[in-house]
Structure 1
């Protein structure tokens, strides 16, 4: 039996047993022992907790726990940590070492492992081969991406077989069917073409199918379609087919007029000298119709920049139809206010209220594109369109100035005729031609951003939603709420490269029961 005896002087403690001689322990010794234990126990507790979290709870013996705690208490690391440290050292060495020319690389990681095993590669050789393989795969992916962008550019610039078929069949119908040649509009409605009590829309296009969707969607979305007048301008080769379509597919009570550029007396070489230069300039023809990859240093550009460069080289940018919008006041001298629409839009809401918008003496009612929910679409400023390293651009423009969008614009033609917008537009086009297109690359918007400076009235962004031709992540709910949705970009809804989930907003206005549409297998 163990006994504990405390001395009367309180200076010692005696522990005795019937079988063991008594032991005398001083208070000082006991105090020091307790103090040391109080200091060490927290550290033991923390280390034990760490071991437990790392899986030491799977140990089945004190010996196992000791093997885990021992190296830590002695300041040592286990083999796994040392292995990791050696591995990182080898990788660092491999990242700085030059890859030998002509090094034969395995086709896959499994082949690399097999080669390492069969050839007894050391870790450094393995790491170097792994780095070389990864760099090769990155180059291959990059080249594939550039090839994809180039192919997409050509797909976007080409005419789908079905649309080409539609134009040919309708042109043939124009020559053989008197009803397809009937006057548009009928003689008794001709005065309405210049009646400013009506709502006049202007559409410039050589795409018959796209034009039919724009007109149909606007008429079906209107609460007063009898007040709608569409002025469609097309080129000479498409005129017969375009006229046939709207002669055979009435949109009554709305009015449609189809005119070819050859039917406007005002469009002479004297009035559009810059556009003649655009179409005949050798450097310009090579830029838009030549090789889009030759001379491009793909190693020094990103896929996104390359895609933007390809888009800016679309041949439509030197088409007269694309520049006609700058001549609207002269082409329609009797009209006071019009809404201009691009052919890749869909109208989802009645646009009549646009004629009641007070532009405050400004010429162009447009949506700004420098702020909005979708940053990839609504983040455009002048720096996105112009080369500010060019001294002439840097002198006259502010790179942070907000841009605006073409595609759905309200034009006050009475105010426009009092300005020098057309002259400014021509002047800057000439300057860009003289500079060999070093001031800007992208089409008709850049010179318009300059020419309309000080003449733009900002309208609410809900009137015009952009980006459906290049932003696949467009919010569907926002699309449904927009008055006009715009498939600007390469992925047009009538092309196979169009986004499938965004296409139905456009195809709902395609008349698939029409014999011409069916026989040409449009979008099948």
Structure 2
């Protein structure tokens, strides 16, 4: 009697076929511009810097702070003029639709049911260490940049519109040897302003023809030259001829207002052209920071393909009780990036005194679930159990009441702080990283756990984090590093009518200790959903923008301040961080657009990340992954 052959699994084959079709169709849609504007189909983070306007200082209305209601004050935010049309702006890259988002106050009519908790003042050591870190960083930045006051203001104005691209472009500015080219452009600028007036004068036909010829010669040379080395050998003769022609034009009697009007017209066109090219550069910068590199996409697809070729990986190596035992130290990571997640886990276990006692839970989306599962089944990290969870499937099957299934990573914002007394002078821009919509369902997903540490996938751990599990947080919910460069009272035009303490500091994601028992006790998720109902969610962008105010309000008076030395933020945008401060920090947070696995990453900080990266992997070599 012949043995019955095992039945083939059709489900995995269908999933594999769908992934292969997506990998073929997605590039075609991108090439033919069929995708929606601003949406990148190979994007693995889909983060963007969102700018908010807030005003400083803020005086609480109706008496002392203490969590009393603060009425929103109507704020007049300067509206930029619409960009002018550019006649010669032909390029294959469309100008990006950068918008300054002025959030209306949240019309929250229902008071959140958060129990009042006494505010815990951070120890003096925490304040001192944080202050020292900020001062050292500022000193290094000042020595390195040494910018003039007007240059600093121009940089702030640039950041307001284009974000961290301005920091990147300033650092990577190339000093070009183009002094002669600039002189040619200046001559051409003056000649064009005089030419219309000279052409109208009687008896100046010869000068008009001479000026026209010199203008055409200059335009021809400049069209093929961007630096002095590109200029032809006879350029000095052309410069002398143009100087002589301009001198004769200036000796003629012309109406000054015509020349001035032409000069202003050319100046406006030049400004428009410069702004257009700035938009192009910022668009390419954001495209490079928000999309997954081709090599990483290849790597993820190869892992997914290998998963379905290895049926033995269907069952988890560790029993389910291992992932639900509260006695272990549980870490939660939200990520769509295999390599970034592996660096977080590897750096944590290498610096841990008890690596086998650590349990890692990775929440990822359906697209990266199988590749993530295969990678961590092949690679061992000091026998630490790793649990890969399909977040979208989990929400759909077990938490259907939550309508939004998509996985959102930590949201990053840039906040403009502007003085009400001198709004054009005293301005500063701060960068914040906060919880996203998906973070608020962690207690629902891990119902058997009492305490977890949430790590962003752009974090590198450099010290043993066991001290985080020994913290006595009292009645607090979220242990986070406070960021007192931004206080809630400075953002009253964003937080609406909900009661809050104006003196409370903002906080940062990256490394957060979450007491899940206190979370459930204070009904943080329920309060978040209650606030979310009051927000007008037109699309995905508005939902992500709302994370700024909702994260701050949901944890009002529930933040336990961590030592400022525990996590150093800003390695994804700040070029002025002191190396000694970075090396002494327990964890490094690469918040910002310049992630360490991208070409845009800051070279000085990449080594902290690379030393925990897995090397000599076959799939990394085949896809040429070398961040």
Could you tell me the TM-score, scaled by structure 2's length?
A: 0.53
Alignment check: 8 A CA contact 1:198 1:227 kept: yes
Question: CA separation in 2, counterparts of 1:427 and 1:467?
Answer: 32
**Are 2:275 and 1:145 equivalent residues in the alignment?**
no
Alignment check: 8 A CA contact 1:149 1:307 kept: no
Q: Which residue of 2 aligns with 1:456?
A: 559
Q: Which residue of 1 aligns with 2:347?
A: 217
Q: Which residue of 2 aligns with 1:155?
A: 288
Q: Is 99-108 or 452-461 further displaced after alignment?
A: 99-108
User: Cα gap change, 1:306/1:351 in structure 2, threshold over 3 Å: closer, same or farther?
Assistant: closer
Q: Which residue of 1 aligns with 2:486?
A: 380
**Are 2:479 and 1:347 equivalent residues in the alignment?**
no
Question: CA separation in 2, counterparts of 1:396 and 1:413?
Answer: 24
**Matched ranges for 1:437-448 at <5 A:** 442=545, 444-448=547-551
Q: How far apart are 1:403 and its partner, in Å?
A: 0.5
User: Cα gap change, 1:100/1:426 in structure 2, threshold over 3 Å: closer, same or farther?
Assistant: farther
**Are 2:477 and 1:363 equivalent residues in the alignment?**
yes
- Deviations along 1:53-92, whole A, 9 cap, x unmatched? xxxxxxxxxxxxxxxxxxxxxxxxxxxxxxxxxxxxxxxx
Q: Which residue of 2 aligns with 1:32?
A: none
SS in 2 for 1:512: coil
Q: Max radius of gyration: which structure?
A: 1
Alignment check: 8 A CA contact 2:436 2:544 kept: no
Question: CA separation in 1, counterparts of 2:337 and 2:195?
Answer: 53
Question: CA separation in 2, counterparts of 1:493 and 1:462?
Answer: 21
Alignment check: 8 A CA contact 2:535 2:546 kept: no
**Are 2:431 and 1:323 equivalent residues in the alignment?**
no
Alignment check: 8 A CA contact 2:620 2:626 kept: no
User: Cα gap change, 1:114/1:408 in structure 2, threshold over 3 Å: closer, same or farther?
Assistant: farther
Alignment check: 8 A CA contact 1:393 1:439 kept: no
Question: CA separation in 1, counterparts of 2:429 and 2:244?
Answer: 39
Question: CA separation in 2, counterparts of 1:101 and 1:439?
Answer: 52
Q: How far apart are 1:240 and its partner, in Å?
A: 0.8
SS in 2 for 1:340: strand
Alignment check: 8 A CA contact 1:337 1:414 kept: yes
Q: How far apart are 1:119 and its partner, in Å?
A: 2.0
**Are 2:315 and 1:183 equivalent residues in the alignment?**
yes
Q: Which residue of 2 aligns with 1:250?
A: 380
User: Cα gap change, 1:523/1:141 in structure 2, threshold over 3 Å: closer, same or farther?
Assistant: farther
Alignment check: 8 A CA contact 1:337 1:412 kept: yes
Question: CA separation in 1, counterparts of 2:475 and 2:616?
Answer: 46
CA RMSD of aligned residues (A): 3.9
Q: How far apart are 1:497 and its partner, in Å?
A: 1.5
Alignment check: 8 A CA contact 1:219 1:254 kept: yes
Q: Which residue of 1 aligns with 2:74?
A: none
Alignment check: 8 A CA contact 1:381 1:400 kept: yes
Q: How far apart are 1:204 and its partner, in Å?
A: 1.3
Could you tell me the TM-score, scaled by structure 1's length?
A: 0.63
Q: How far apart are 1:266 and its partner, in Å?
A: 7.5
- Deviations along 1:476-511, whole A, 9 cap, x unmatched? 221111111111111111112211222121121111
**Matched ranges for 1:251-266 at <5 A:** 251-264=381-394
Higher share in helix: 1
Alignment check: 8 A CA contact 1:406 1:445 kept: no
Q: Which residue of 1 aligns with 2:297?
A: 164
Question: CA separation in 2, counterparts of 1:185 and 1:478?
Answer: 40
- Structure 1, gaps ≥5 residues long: 1-98, 280-300, 371-378
Q: How many residues align?
A: 378
Question: CA separation in 2, counterparts of 1:361 and 1:470?
Answer: 34
**Matched ranges for 1:45-444 at <5 A:** 116-120=246-250, 137-179=270-312, 181=313, 183-187=315-319, 190-264=320-394, 268=398, 270-273=400-403, 275=404, 322-370=436-484, 379-382=485-488, 388-389=492-493, 393=496, 396-397=499-500, 401-433=504-536, 442=545, 444=547
User: Cα gap change, 1:113/1:334 in structure 2, threshold over 3 Å: closer, same or farther?
Assistant: farther
Q: How far apart are 1:448 and its partner, in Å?
A: 1.3
Q: Which residue of 1 aligns with 2:9?
A: none
**Are 2:570 and 1:467 equivalent residues in the alignment?**
yes
Q: Which of 606, 618, 622 is 1:503 aligned to?
A: 606
Q: How far apart are 1:433 and its partner, in Å?
A: 1.6
- Deviations along 1:337-365, whole A, 9 cap, x unmatched? 11001111111111111000111210000
Q: Which residue of 1 aligns with 2:186?
A: none
Q: How far apart are 1:335 and its partner, in Å?
A: 1.0
User: Cα gap change, 1:435/1:207 in structure 2, threshold over 3 Å: closer, same or farther?
Assistant: closer
Q: How far apart are 1:436 and its partner, in Å?
A: 8.6
Alignment check: 8 A CA contact 1:184 1:256 kept: no
Alignment check: 8 A CA contact 2:318 2:385 kept: no
Q: How far apart are 1:398 and its partner, in Å?
A: 5.8
Question: CA separation in 1, counterparts of 2:443 and 2:507?
Answer: 20
Q: How far apart are 1:425 and its partner, in Å?
A: 1.2
User: Cα gap change, 1:442/1:141 in structure 2, threshold over 3 Å: closer, same or farther?
Assistant: same
Q: Which residue of 2 aligns with 1:477?
A: 580
Where relative contact order (Cα < 8 A, 6+ residues apart) is larger, the structure is 2
Question: CA separation in 1, counterparts of 2:520 and 2:574?
Answer: 37
User: Cα gap change, 1:163/1:119 in structure 2, threshold over 3 Å: closer, same or farther?
Assistant: same
User: Cα gap change, 1:395/1:227 in structure 2, threshold over 3 Å: closer, same or farther?
Assistant: closer
- Deviations along 1:361-409, whole A, 9 cap, x unmatched? 1000000112xxxxxxxx233477x5x446x715645665411011210
